[in-house]
Structure 1
Amino acid sequence: MSGTLKIDKVINNNLVRSHKDGKEVLVMGKGLGFKKQRNDFIDETLIERVYVMEGKENGNYLEVLLSNIPYTYVQTTNEIVKYAINSLDKKLDDTIWLGLTDHIYHAIDRLKKGITVRNALLWEISRFYNHEYLIGKEALKIIEKRHGVKLNDSEAGFIAIHLVNAQMDDTVKIQETMEMIRIQKKILDIVKDYYGIELNQSSIHYDRFWTHLKYFVRRLSKGKEMITEDLGFLDVIKAKYPNEYKCAKHIEEFVQKEMNCKLTEDEIIYLSIHIRRVIGESV
């Protein structure tokens, strides 16, 4: 059934260029461009994805990317994302469709070439984003079913990060999300090294510390300071837990070096409180 969208350019059998709501778009669907010409109406029943071409450079990149990825990879992503939306019961940002398709295509290409990419943050991802990681594991089964290749668990972790990224309120690049996790992990290492102990990773305060660090690092990356209302107890904490405060100051030095951020006294004190709690469950 034809609709109101007209074809501006046929890119291949499954991809055409068009206009929608005054914006140039790429429209994808199986057989959408087959035996079609410029100014033909698009069969809207075949449409699976519509990509807005924001800016000429970005639009050209999208066109080249989508025209070079076999349509079977788009269908694979569709199945994975639909499964993820149902499992998470959350709306995911539209950027995941393109980013995940591109990732899966290159992951399979690397595997065929014998190239292995290790996910250095796999443990942290599987622990603190467990739901997304389990979806990533299910995604590997979908990929194996559709493409006949078996990707390793590192790829489940990478897929999980795509899902985490797609749930954020604002758009954050995958590399930025991975970098934030790396910084969180390094902060935990600073605490372990300072006290010379292994932290109890099964404790509730360990999970709470990680959650605090997640928002702490993200807040710093956005240049936002912690806003507190009642700070009368902070001097008491500083005096009562001098070692935790010194450890937090080491974290401040690291953050200054890595992120070019200077912590407020409030941030240092709250880090001290979390350090005190996690250390108390680890000794």
Structure 2
Amino acid sequence: MKIKKILNNNAVIVQEGTIEKIVIGPGVAFQKKKNDIISKNNVEKVFVMEDNDDYEKFQEILCTLPIEHIKIAEEVISYAEGALMTPLNDHIHVALTDHLSFAFERLKQGFVIKNKLLQEIKALYPEEFEVGLWAKKTINERLNIEIPDDEVGYIALHIHTAKMNRKSLKPSLDVTSFVNDVIGLIESEFNISIHGKSIAYQRLLTHLRFAFQRIQEKEPFHDIDEEMLEVIKKKHKKAFNTAEKIGNLIKEVYQFDLPISEQAYIALHIQRLSEK
């Protein structure tokens, strides 16, 4: 592999045929210069990025961020791809590395990291959260930095976004915020604290997650038998009233009219939760 550009002692850009690659390895560029050949024995990781914006941003990251931050981010990404058994979007190399480095600096300066969506992230993305917990342990071992579970939640969001082959966190944040708003409204109406590990809570979360996907993608909702609808309205009046308020919230925030059939299904979930 012939060096095209040296980024630092541990990272270079190489040219192989018509393809440019970013190569990382300890001391891979030590005492090297442009057009020198590097041995594959010194290479830890090779990156080929199709997105030119990501390619340029990753070069900037390699030139500016501490190498230990870059290496720990890459370790987390590699572990996530193995644990989730799926490749992640290339943008994760930019987004997660930059996020982690910034978080480490904030923690060193004494800032407290808070994540108001933590409970919903844990419930909606349990596999990604487990990856985040592995990252927490590994970061502490490698860098002696103790990250809070709130930060683990942010790592899980980045992992989930890349798993869904997206670059932007917005869709993941939108559904998580939506669920958080709905849960908060139910807790307020019934004066209860919803247990995050209960089966009723998990079922409601699953239902809300798919409901929000239908809202985002403008897909039709399932119908409900008229007789069953009337039974739910009468038998579970408070739960149905709360579901109606959720419908009003969705209309206000997302400009979407939630069908009465969907409000009825949500009311059933609310009723189960309130009984617990």
TM-score (norm 2): 0.82
Given that residues 26 and 53 in structure 1 are in contact (C-alpha distance below 8 angstroms), is that contact kept between their aligned partners in structure 2? no
Say if 1:61 and 1:189 are closer, same or farther in 2 by CA, change over 3 A: same
Match of 2:232 among 232, 238, 241: 241
Shift of 1:207: 0.8
1:208 aligns with 2:203: yes
TM-score (norm 1): 0.80
Residues 24-44 of structure 1, C-alpha deviation per residue, up to 9 Å, x if partnerless? 543333333333333444534
Given that residues 74 and 93 in structure 2 are in contact (C-alpha distance below 8 angstroms), is that contact kept between their aligned partners in structure 1? yes
Provide the C-alpha distance between the structure 2 equivalents of 1:114 and 1:197, rounded to a whole number of angstroms. 34
Provide the C-alpha distance between the structure 2 equivalents of 1:51 and 1:218, rounded to a whole number of angstroms. 32
Residues 163-185 of structure 1, C-alpha deviation per residue, up to 9 Å, x if partnerless? 333332x4153354234212201
Shift of 1:103: 2.0
After TM superposition, the structure 1 = structure 2 runs for residues 41-190 of structure 1, keeping only pairs within 5 Å, are 41-45=37-41, 46-52=43-49, 54-55=51-52, 57-86=53-82, 88-93=83-88, 94-168=90-164, 170-171=165-166, 173-190=168-185
Q: Name whichever of 142-151 and 30-39 sits farther off.
A: 30-39
Say if 1:11 and 1:181 are closer, same or farther in 2 by CA, change over 3 A: same
Shift of 1:154: 1.8
Shift of 1:58: 4.4
Given that residues 29 and 47 in structure 1 are in contact (C-alpha distance below 8 angstroms), is that contact kept between their aligned partners in structure 2? yes
Map of 1:33 onto structure 2: 29
Match of 2:189 among 187, 194, 202: 194
Provide the C-alpha distance between the structure 2 equivalents of 1:212 and 1:258, rounded to a whole number of angstroms. 19
Shift of 1:110: 0.8
Provide the C-alpha distance between the structure 2 equivalents of 1:177 and 1:187, rounded to a whole number of angstroms. 16
Given that residues 237 and 269 in structure 1 are in contact (C-alpha distance below 8 angstroms), is that contact kept between their aligned partners in structure 2? no
After TM superposition, the structure 1 = structure 2 runs for residues 224-263 of structure 1, keeping only pairs within 5 Å, are 224-226=218-220, 228=222, 231=223, 233-242=224-233, 243=237, 244-263=239-258
1:270 aligns with 2:265: yes
Provide the C-alpha distance between the structure 1 equivalents of 2:68 and 2:172, rounded to a whole number of angstroms. 28
Residues 249-273 of structure 1, C-alpha deviation per residue, up to 9 Å, x if partnerless? 2112211222233334443343233
Unaligned 5+ segments in structure 2 are none
Residues 21-80 of structure 1, C-alpha deviation per residue, up to 9 Å, x if partnerless? 85654333333333333344453441403041523x544333222211222222212333
Q: How many residues align?
A: 270
Given that residues 221 and 259 in structure 2 are in contact (C-alpha distance below 8 angstroms), is that contact kept between their aligned partners in structure 1? no
Computed over aligned residues only, the root mean square deviation of the Cα atoms, in angstroms, reads: 2.9
Provide the C-alpha distance between the structure 2 equivalents of 1:44 and 1:237, rounded to a whole number of angstroms. 67
Instruction: State the one-letter code of the partner of 2:111.
Output: I
Provide the C-alpha distance between the structure 1 equivalents of 2:26 and 2:213, rounded to a whole number of angstroms. 39
Say if 1:274 and 1:234 are closer, same or farther in 2 by CA, change over 3 A: farther
Unaligned 5+ segments in structure 1 are none
